[in-house]
Structure 1
Amino acid sequence: MTDRGRAIVVGGSFAGLTAGLLLREQGFDVDIFERTPAYLDGRGGGIVLQPDTVRWIAERPHSFGVDDVSIGSSVMRYLGDDNKIVYEEPAAWRFSSWTTMYRVLFDDFGAERYHLGEYAVGVDQDADGVELRFTSGRTERADLLVFADGISSVGRRRLQPRVQPRYAGYIGWRGCVPEREVTRETADLINDALAYALIDSSHICMYAIPGADGSLATGNRQFNYIWYRNVAEGPALDEMTTDLRGFTAPVSVHPGQVQHRFVNEMRADAAKVLPPAAAELIARTPEPYIQIVLDIAVRNMAFGRIALIGDAAFAARPHAAAGTAKAAADAWSLASSLASSPDVPSALAAWEPGRLALGNDLLSRVAEMGARSQFTNSWDPADPALHFGLYGPDR
């Protein structure tokens, strides 16, 4: 055992891997437990690379840099009828895929202490440590436990059972299309841009990401999108988010599991109301999937020797493109606090207030952004308040 004792991280996604890497640097003996039986795949989904998202690559020795795992934009571009450019301004963002970034972190952490197929189900702690129990019958004990297990967090349910996700009133249709499968006009409009289209009570966001094999070469990349559409809470939402097996999805309906009639209706609507470039991306997506847009906020993130980070604590709507950035920032901040104090409970208590403030601020900001696009129709392309950023617009 190392000099800081043992740390367990529940959840092997972006937050969990970042936490595992940083805690290992702090001298903890770290194990990550992931509930899925196979290594994770982000279904090709795109992410915007904010400074915290790529901090591990930027600040630790690697044989590659951020530019080697991402694609850059030069403009933010709004499309209107007939693909007319209705607004444009300089915008230097970098985009990658969830899978590409996961592979970077996983390769650095390694497979030896990354345990698949272990579903955490119970937790207790005493003055000296934390006990974690799994559905397999396995029991583990540690000096520090970090729940980084996402929107459906077991840790949150056990520690703050009254906290429930709040539906935002709309869903996101998501998908990726190989660049080589779209027309030249569509590719030219999106390939160097953060591209949007606004329609009544709805909008779509589009950008290029690495290909399924990680390729950054023009022609071998993918175009990623999310189209936000209002769906009333209740029977309408329940029906749409019931998958082909008959199970109602609480967070997302995975590719290949969305009822075909809803996919067909969505494609038909896209052809009627979206610019041709956006409609083409949707038409050429073999298996679009649904993300249910939710708000989740906890009152606490530190519980003695236990911490909640990432979406296990605050899950924010995607409008600020800050999900992975916040997950990474939570982990970096936690490691910094632990470096300042040898006592785990004291370090977590000192770490918590700043994270709660950031999480609540982010939720408030993205709720306002969502309201402007989906309900009040007051989204203004020239308003910098609508730009990406974890800490605020362009920050």
Structure 2
Amino acid sequence: MAEAVKKRMVVVGGSIAGLMHAVALKSHGHSVVVIEMRTEQQLQARAAGLSLWSNAQKVFTTYLPDVELDDIVFRNPAFPILDKDGKVLVEVPFTEDVRTSCWAGLHGLLWMACEKDVEGHGSVTMRCGYQVCGLTEQADHLVVAYKGEDGAEEEITADIVVAADGARSHLRSLVLPDVKTDYVGYVAWRSQFPEKDAPEELRCAIEGKMPLCMLDGSYIVVYLSPSTIGDMRPGNRVIEWCWYDACDASTPVFADYMTDVNGIRHNVTVPGNLLRPDVWEAQLKRRDKVLSPMWRKIFHESNPPLLTAVRSFDNTKASFFGGKLLLAGEAFIQLRPHLGASCDIAGLSAITLPRVLTGEMSLEEWEKKVAQHAMEKAIGSRATGIFGMTGQWPEGYTAESAAKFSEEVTA
């Protein structure tokens, strides 16, 4: 196997996608600087469930060898489809190995792996609280400009820049100004409750199953998750729920929902601690006719939900400036969240990028492989959302048709 020439790497974005790339590149001897707009405290405060498909799992098993995967994730054998009263209509086995965990726990493990000194590996330097504000190409490298809260601008030189700065990526806007994230017509309300409080109809979630409850034009997905600090012990875990419901962006209802307790209008997410209580009460009243007593009880007893306006965009172009700038994670493509497959695309990018640097894979092969996988998951996520909201799969949709279409659009 050829040895990669050691590179100066900058990863923009310190979330899951960014740290996957940082730990993979570090493990192959490269020097990595991670630039993250949020402070370390703000990153740690983020808590939500997270699904790991096979590529994301491979990042952990390959680059975090001291971590036993089964100690941090739950296996999901099936998803029972329930009616609004919790009666099982059908139970569908998962055809792929999908596992769930919590964002905070996995992010913490990746962070520690980045900071850990390992003989023969490179290093990762974390620079939190800094915002990237410019990018220029100079000869065979890129110069990244960034600034902190004091407004003082600094520069760093890199052989390769990995843009993992999320769906509203500043770096993507420089090279793909016409690619923008679009609201898809519905919102997601997300919260959790202790597993001990799970009603009988949802006890299957404690076995790792992922029930999907149909609610006449909306649906709720439920799954087991570690506590917000990653505690996997029975009795300390939580049941996460995510309710997808239509909301027209042109209506006063949408604008009202996205305005927080301080009167600030949000474009994407209103955190639970900023959600106005009257907004949540208005949502429950608006959908009261389709809510069973079970769900009314769960909703009233759960923590205030996080509200997200679901957005997405498609894209197949990941490489710019002759491969010196690479888009990753949601800076590359934003999926609808129904499959929980976003970090799998970042995982595939991270585990195959070192092969490009050693010459085992061409840059073109890498870009096509990631794009094809991303488009396949994008089609599947869109179809799953339509099924959840309507009870019907899109006409002609199959996993095989999605794979064939993704091959065609990336050919």
Aligned residue in 1 for 2:388: 373
Contact 1:46 1:97 survives alignment (8 Å)? yes
- Does residue 337 in structure 1 map to residue 356 in structure 2? yes
Tell me the alpha carbon deviations over residues 312-350 of structure 1, each in whole angstroms, 9 at most, x when there is no partner: 010000112201111111222222222217xxxx95444
- Does residue 125 in structure 1 map to residue 140 in structure 2? no
Separation (CA, whole Å) in 1 of partners of 2:83 and 2:213:
6
Instruction: Count how many residue pairs are aligned between Structure 1 and Structure 2.
Output: 380
When the two chains are superposed, the root-mean-square deviation of aligned CA atoms in Å is 2.8
1:204 to 211, 220, 224: 220
How much has 1:218 moved relative to structure 2?
A: 1.8
1:97 to 98, 102, 106: 102
What aligned pairs does 1:151-300 form with structure 2 within 5 A after superposition? Answer: 151-180=167-196, 182-183=197-198, 185=200, 188-192=203-207, 193-236=209-252, 237-268=254-285, 272-300=289-317
Secondary structure (helix, strand or coil) at the match of 1:9 reads strand
Separation (CA, whole Å) in 1 of partners of 2:140 and 2:187:
44
How much has 1:247 moved relative to structure 2?
A: 2.7
Separation (CA, whole Å) in 1 of partners of 2:325 and 2:18:
14
Secondary structure (helix, strand or coil) at the match of 2:338 reads helix
- Does residue 106 in structure 1 map to residue 111 in structure 2? yes
- Does residue 363 in structure 1 map to residue 378 in structure 2? yes
Please tell me the residue identity of whatever aligns with 1:201: G
Are residues 184 and 251 of structure 1, via their aligned partners in 2, closer, same or farther at CA, if it must alter by over 3 Å?
closer
How much has 1:377 moved relative to structure 2?
A: 3.9
Tell me the alpha carbon deviations over residues 90-113 of structure 1, each in whole angstroms, 9 at most, x when there is no partner: 447421011111111111001861
Tell me the alpha carbon deviations over residues 104-138 of structure 1, each in whole angstroms, 9 at most, x when there is no partner: 11110018611110111111112221011113311
Aligned residue in 1 for 2:339: 320
Are residues 293 and 77 of structure 1, via their aligned partners in 2, closer, same or farther at CA, if it must alter by over 3 Å?
same
How much has 1:238 moved relative to structure 2?
A: 2.9
Secondary structure (helix, strand or coil) at the match of 1:362 reads helix
Are residues 358 and 62 of structure 1, via their aligned partners in 2, closer, same or farther at CA, if it must alter by over 3 Å?
closer
Tell me the alpha carbon deviations over residues 48-71 of structure 1, each in whole angstroms, 9 at most, x when there is no partner: 221111112222453331110012
Unaligned residue ranges in structure 2 (runs of 5+): 117-123, 407-411
Q: TM-score, normalised by structure 2?
A: 0.84
Secondary structure (helix, strand or coil) at the match of 2:388 reads helix
How much has 1:384 moved relative to structure 2?
A: 7.9
Separation (CA, whole Å) in 2 of partners of 1:194 and 1:278:
16
Contact 1:315 1:323 survives alignment (8 Å)? yes
Unaligned residue ranges in structure 1 (runs of 5+): none
Secondary structure (helix, strand or coil) at the match of 1:95 reads strand
Contact 1:297 1:315 survives alignment (8 Å)? yes
Please tell me the residue identity of whatever aligns with 1:365: G
Are residues 86 and 350 of structure 1, via their aligned partners in 2, closer, same or farther at CA, if it must alter by over 3 Å?
closer
What aligned pairs does 1:42-121 form with structure 2 within 5 A after superposition? Answer: 43-60=46-63, 62-91=65-94, 93-110=98-115, 113-121=125-133
Secondary structure (helix, strand or coil) at the match of 1:67 reads helix
Aligned residue in 1 for 2:35: 33
What aligned pairs does 1:5-16 form with structure 2 within 5 A after superposition? Answer: 5-16=7-18
Separation (CA, whole Å) in 1 of partners of 2:250 and 2:169:
23
Separation (CA, whole Å) in 2 of partners of 1:223 and 1:314:
28
Secondary structure (helix, strand or coil) at the match of 1:224 reads strand
Are residues 42 and 50 of structure 1, via their aligned partners in 2, closer, same or farther at CA, if it must alter by over 3 Å?
farther
Separation (CA, whole Å) in 2 of partners of 1:280 and 1:93:
29
Please tell me the residue identity of whatever aligns with 1:336: R
Please tell me the residue identity of whatever aligns with 1:245: N
How much has 1:385 moved relative to structure 2?
A: 5.2
Q: TM-score, normalised by structure 1?
A: 0.87
